Chains A and B, each alone.
Chain A
Amino acid sequence: MTIRTRRSLAAAAGAVALLIGAAACSSDDPASETGGSEAAGGDLTVAGPIPIENLDPHGAASLDAGTQLAARAIFSQLVVSNGPGEFEGELAESWEPNADASVWTFTLREGVEFSDGTPVASADVVASFDRVLAGEGPLAGNFGGYTAAAPDESTVVFTSPTPDAAFLGKVSSFFVTPQAAANEGFFQDPIGSGPFVVESFEPGATLQLAPNPGYWDGEPALDSLEFQSIPEVAARMTALQTGEVDVTWAMPDDQIAQLRSDSNITVENVASPAVFTMWMNSSTPALQDSAVRQALWQAVDFESIIGSLYPETGTPADSPISPAVLGYAPQEPVEYDPEAAKAALDAAGFDYENTVIRWQFSQANFRNFVDAVVSDLAEIGVTVEPMEKEQAVFLEDLLALNWDMNLQQLGTQGFDAATNLGRLYTCAANRMGYCNEELDQILAEAGSTSDTAQREDLYAQASEIIWNDAVGMYPMFVEQPYAWRTSVEGFQPVPDGVPYFDEVTVSGD
């Protein structure tokens, strides 16, 4: 018997949150009354596609899009990635690797304070880093063997046992919290050095933020920022159209055309590092054989599924990582061929009768895609049971390998293959039950060299192994669609679907 969290309650909570939000969010903000041409603040309400369940950027949810979204508003990173190989200092003023890129020295920016007034010191960075390692969450997988030290107040030194040229990309999703983060209950009312501070937080429902007057880069102009969770897509779209919500993203393709026709709404797609990733659990006996996994991949007509379901935002993928990422190398596309797939499964002795592939996913917008894939696999006699899970349960099961097939829209932090291929596909990470020593070696080598051309070449080899061994199916590159009301100014869509709001203002029209 499995105890499942009840989606319905979350939905009900979401609906209640929506109602409260509708009452609280004043789209007619007072700035417009004064008629001032200067856009002064305003209240911004944001409804992302993934609920914020947890504010802890170090633990099990550290790479969850909801947590990252909140963390970018509340906490600060050392560096921010702006594209493949491009970084900008946030808490770090400057940084310097040693000759073989195994020791990274960061100099912290002067005068940055947490919202309670204490300065951000190198000890906080080290404590946060140790907390990430101790938490053994998905982020910790980036930093195997690392140690951090603080030789003085404003210097942090990260030391890796092996050279690691991709460290900047990895560390760009690492957030610094005060040392008190280790205390029980800290994340109920966290203190950070980001542009916003937490007013109130209801997991999975709403996160209410106020600008941080002491933010080092200037207090955000917004009067308030609210993240809402509206699980129902139709409700989210309606909320955007009526002005209850000002910004949303990751809308389903079916809704984009309708939003485009609304003159109050700006719609923009940006190329993203995200790839639809369907790992197959290689530790499941039925899926151990790579021939079986390849055959399953071959049996799905992804081209027509993508063409029909994602005409706006999808393109068939030809690599486990997107072209927007350093280390991308195109692979031979997998041709749809159900007969060959069936023959290969027969040859591999696949047990059609007794195998039920449990396929987990957490987002409602995957439902149609999942149904279509399940249908194609059923056509060759393979039974797949789709299991839609609550986000928190999904994450827990994901790490526990409690699934046979998994569907995620997998991004690449820092636009560097190291944080995707290098982090997830090693034997030590054991994220999909797949272990290949040759691949391990290539990934280790790629992580340890600082020569970009060589790294690209090594990641190309790694991609080839992952692709040909069908560690998962990689059907689609995703473009990230954003939609915001025209009253919102200064909003920058970002490729990874985790936008910043510190430079946004809302003019009340």
Chain B
Amino acid sequence: MTQSDILLTEAPGPAAPPVRRRRRRPLAAIPYVIIGVYVLAAAIGPFLIDYDPVATEVTERLLPPGSATGSGTAWLGTDAVGRDVLAQVVYGARTSFIIGIAVVTVCCLIGVALGAIAGYSGGLPDAVVSRTIDILMAFPGILLAIVIAGLLERGMHVVIIALSVGGWVGFARLSRSITMSTRERDWVDAARIMGVSKPATLKRHIVPFLAGSVVALATIELASAVLSEAALSFLGLGLPPHIVSWGQAIAGGREHLSTAWWITVFPGIALTILVICIGLVGDRLTRRFTRKRD
């Protein structure tokens, strides 16, 4: 794989055009740029914009975008208790990223570990993991998350747990199937014959081949984790009120949709664009790694 990469990029003359053509499409970079902007906003936005989710200013409620308030200009308007919508969008981005990345990391670690072990060992471990996957797949992920978040006290960790419980299944299935085919390759046989231990074989000779596909899947899972978090918050489950999230902001504006659309619309747009961009990147990664593996 690595060698073919080098060959492709270094190939001069006639071999170059397909690669160049891909790079010449400036539109292709847009999702990356947008995600970059979000990451930047989530990372440094909270340092630039001061916002306290508990503090309200009822006399400045439901102001349209661009109105002057006591503490500056509300560029995206204010909500039903006078909180700045722009600040909610920025702080919500941070919450979404923290939860999304945490969920994907947890799912990824659990899923890849279980999937690789199941796929490599076969037999009882495989049966146990596969049946667990089957059971979890029988439930819609969001339903499981709602049940778990509904039963436990609110908190960010609860949301992460609730979304991870069903989220690792995808990683496990992917890792298991790739492991099962990689296990039959010559270099794995060679390692086995040389007496390399099982864990070492897994780590050295199999897991590296999972990386590409797992990254592609992780990107798609990130989008769905962000979306699920917003759904939970929208339903009033999971996050406590003092943590800003897009889902809560959208839910808070429902009553005022006809008069104060900006409360719902701006967090909604922020969420939509982010999820679409992550999805586009994920699709591209999937295409690339699936093709290469074949």
Contacts and interface: CB of A to CB of B under 8 A. Distances in A.
| A and B bind | yes
Interface of A: 1-4, 6-8, 11, 232-234, 252, 254-255, 258, 304-305, 307-309, 367-368, 371-372, 374-375, 378-379, 385-386, 388
Given A375-B55, A375-B56, A368 B259 contact: no
Interface stretch (B131-139, B149-157, B190-198): B149-157
A496 B274 CA distance: 48
A6 B150 contact: yes
Contacts of B254: 232, 234
A245 to B, nearest CB: 16
Interface in B172-196: none
Nearest to A364: B255
Nearest to B151: A3
Given A1-B152, A8-B235, A233 B255 contact: yes
A6 B154 CA distance: 13
Interface string B248-262: 000010111111000
Interface string B226-266: 00000000011100110000000000101111110000000
B155 to A, nearest CB: 12
A8 B237 CA distance: 8
17 contacts: A1-B151, A1-B152, A4-B151, A7-B236, A8-B150, A254-B62, A258-B258, A307-B59, A308-B58, A308-B82, A368-B61, A371-B81, A375-B56, A378-B52, A378-B54, A378-B55, A379-B55
Nearest to A308: B58
B81 A375 contact: yes
A308 B257 CA distance: 19
What is the predominant secondary structure among interface residues of chain B facing chain A? loop
A255 B52 CA distance: 27
B111 to A, nearest CB: 27
Contacts of B258: 234, 258
B255 A308 contact: no
B55 A308 contact: no
Residue among B80, B82, B255 facing the most chain A CB atoms (10 A cut-off) = B255
A206 B188 CA distance: 64
B235 A11 contact: yes
Given A7-B236, A309-B61, A371-B81, 6 more contacts: A232-B255, A234-B256, A252-B255, A254-B259, A378-B52, A379-B55
B106 interface: no
Q: Bin chain B's interface residue count.
A: 20 to 34
A254 B62 CA distance: 10
A305 B56 CA distance: 10
Nearest to A8: B235
B144 interface: no
Contacts of A309: 58, 61
A138 B117 CA distance: 60
Contacts of B241: 371, 386
Contacts of B56: 371-372, 374-375
Interface of B: 52, 54-59, 61-62, 80-82, 146-147, 150-153, 235-237, 240-241, 252, 254-259
A391 to B, nearest CB: 14
Q: Which of B54, B62, B147 neighbours the largest number of chain A CB atoms within 10 Å of its CB?
A: B54
Contact of A254 (B59, B147, B237, B255): B255
A85 B153 CA distance: 47
A388 B235 CA distance: 12
Given A8-B146, A8-B235, A252-B255, A2 B153 contact: yes
Lowest 6 CB-CB distances: which A-B pairs, in order? A375-B56, A308-B58, A8-B235, A6-B150, A371-B81, A378-B54
A6 B146 CA distance: 8
A385 B235 CA distance: 18
A228 to B, nearest CB: 18
**Which among B52, B58, B80, B237 has the greatest number of chain A C-beta atoms within 10 A?**
B58
Contacts of A252: 255
B235 A308 contact: no
A309 B61 CA distance: 9
A368 B80 contact: yes
B150 to A, nearest CB: 4
A11 B254 CA distance: 13
B255 A234 contact: yes
Contact of B236 (A3, A8, A372): A8
A6 B150 CA distance: 6
A309 B59 CA distance: 9
A233 B258 CA distance: 12
Interface centre among A304, A368, A371 (most CB of B within 10 A): A371
Contacts of A379: 55
Contacts of B152: 1
Nearest to A257: B259
B153 A375 contact: no
Given A233-B255, A308-B58, A388 B153 contact: no
Contacts of A386: 241
B149 to A, nearest CB: 9
A388 B152 CA distance: 15
A38 B226 CA distance: 58
B81 A7 contact: no
Nearest to A377: B54
Given A375-B56, A378-B55, A254 B256 contact: yes
Contacts of B81: 368, 371-372, 375
A372 B257 contact: no
B239 to A, nearest CB: 13
A4 B58 contact: no
A232 B252 CA distance: 11
Q: Which of B81, B252, B256 gathers most chain A CB within 10 Å?
A: B81
A390 B57 CA distance: 27
Contacts of A258: 258-259
Contacts of B255: 232-234, 252, 254-255
B153 A1 contact: yes
A326 B144 CA distance: 53
A208 B52 CA distance: 46
Nearest to A232: B254
A357 to B, nearest CB: 13
Nearest to B147: A6
A368 B240 CA distance: 16
A254 B152 CA distance: 34
Contact of B61 (A234, A308, A374, A388): A308
B212 to A, nearest CB: 38
Contacts of A11: 235
Contacts of A3: 151
A6 B237 contact: yes
Contacts of A307: 59
Of A252, A307, A375, chain B has the most CB atoms within 10 Å of the CB of A375
Contacts of B256: 234, 254
Contacts of B147: 6
Contacts of A2: 153
A385 B54 CA distance: 10
A275 B284 CA distance: 60
Nearest to B260: A254
Nearest to B83: A371
A233 B81 CA distance: 17
A375 B150 contact: no
Contacts of B237: 6-8
A7 B235 contact: yes
